[in-house]
Structure 1
Amino acid sequence: MSQNTPYRGAFLLIVAAAVLLAVAALTGRGDITTATVVLAGTGCFVAGVFLLALHKGEPIDPEIAALLPAQGTVTIATLCADLGVQGDGWFVPEGETVIEIVPVGETLPAATDDDYSYITAEGAAAVRLVPACAPLLARLKEKHALEIPVEEDALLACIVEVCDDLLEVAEKTEARRDGENIVVTLAGYRLMPGCRAVRAASPKCCTMIGCPVCSLLAVIAALGTGQPTTIEHVAVDEKKGMLRVILTGPAPRGADPGNSR
């Protein structure tokens, strides 16, 4: 069984502090040497307490975490493809939430506010899903009081903060506006094994469904702009450990729908 090094180190520091303070008390010399021993013992004790207080436990291996949602993303994309759905997913804001609509073609249904999974409209049928990032977004709002700004500069800064500081999925994130697109570049991306697993099945999975991280970027953009947003393109450079996601919107809308069920 492997030992927890931080806890062991803290325990050894506290033991060392006790030994040093005991030596100082037993000798009772009251000179500069004793004072040095007392200071050393106090320092060891404080360091040990800090280690115990600040240690968060063993983190999960990022490579393992990256693989957890991979098969779910592939499975949903495969199911949609088997149903004849060929379009890319659109993340459509509905109040404070976002739904994902995967149209059969390139056009969204005119109405997407039904809670049924299948939307059938003349010339604009689609599949209605909850984005893969929904639990993650709820967690960010609950634990970190995340609020999505509507100002463009603040929105781009929010994307960077979420990736770098809150989720810590990248060493450095850049988000910028490029015409109608928002381009997000994650350097030193830590969940690359998940990208590799999903793209091994088909790169279409990235734009049709989106993993929790990519869909979170699209959801933040949709909430900030108030417009339907899609993952236009995902580029992966495994040698550089870089992920680039291009988000765009708004979506073309179809004619008045027929039966939304």
Structure 2
Amino acid sequence: MKSSSWHGASRATCKSLRARFPTLTSTSSWMLNTKQASNPMQRNWLGKLKVILSDAEDVIDEIQYKASRKQAIRAYGTTSSKMNRCLTNLRMLVFVECKNLTSLLLIIKHLTALKSLYIINCEKMDLMGGGGGDVQYLNLRLQILYIVQLPKLEVLPGWLLGSANTLRSLHIEKCGNLKALPEWLPTLKLLQTLVIIHCKELSSLQEGIYHMKTLRYLKIEKCHKLVTRLEDWSNIPGLKVLISKNAKDDEEEEQLLPNSTSEE
């Protein structure tokens, strides 16, 4: 029997049975309450019948629920499938002060159209998510990643490599446990803006970063352990560089490196 025919038949059967239930249950209750069944065996049998009818009604409710649910899924899809469709169409996603959010690992694979991701003051967020596998090979299209106050962040997640051909702006701020930037960072082919602010444990930059020809704006501020000088960036023409002179104040050393190709 086809599924649609079976569900139609089950609904009709349930409807027919339910129509009889009020009569059956009320008759058995009436006979018990008015002592129409004077024989103890009859009264015992009627009591058991009442219990059976109650259980049978629960079974019919379950059958009707499952039939209705399958019909709804055929018509509208599951909740998870609708959520997945929503995620795959997102262009911007912002998380602000999500105190109990711990990971993006379950949804990141669905964010294939995402352009901008902002994560701000999410104290339990672990961008690595404790997962491994093939997350670094995800097909992402991020152009902007903006991270502020993620105390659990020690290294940028491997799934960011999925945006190696699209990421243009990377902003990292107040991530007190960030110890190093990943070796693969120089492979971001279109990165134009790199901002690192108040990452007190960051102590060095990969050599390849000083040769990222696409960079146009660099800001490094209040990174106590990081030592970098303007001349370190001389291999990137047209780069606007802002570097704090002193981690204890807001004075900045600013220079637009020679041979600029920008319009500034």
The TM-score normalised by the length of structure 2 is 0.30
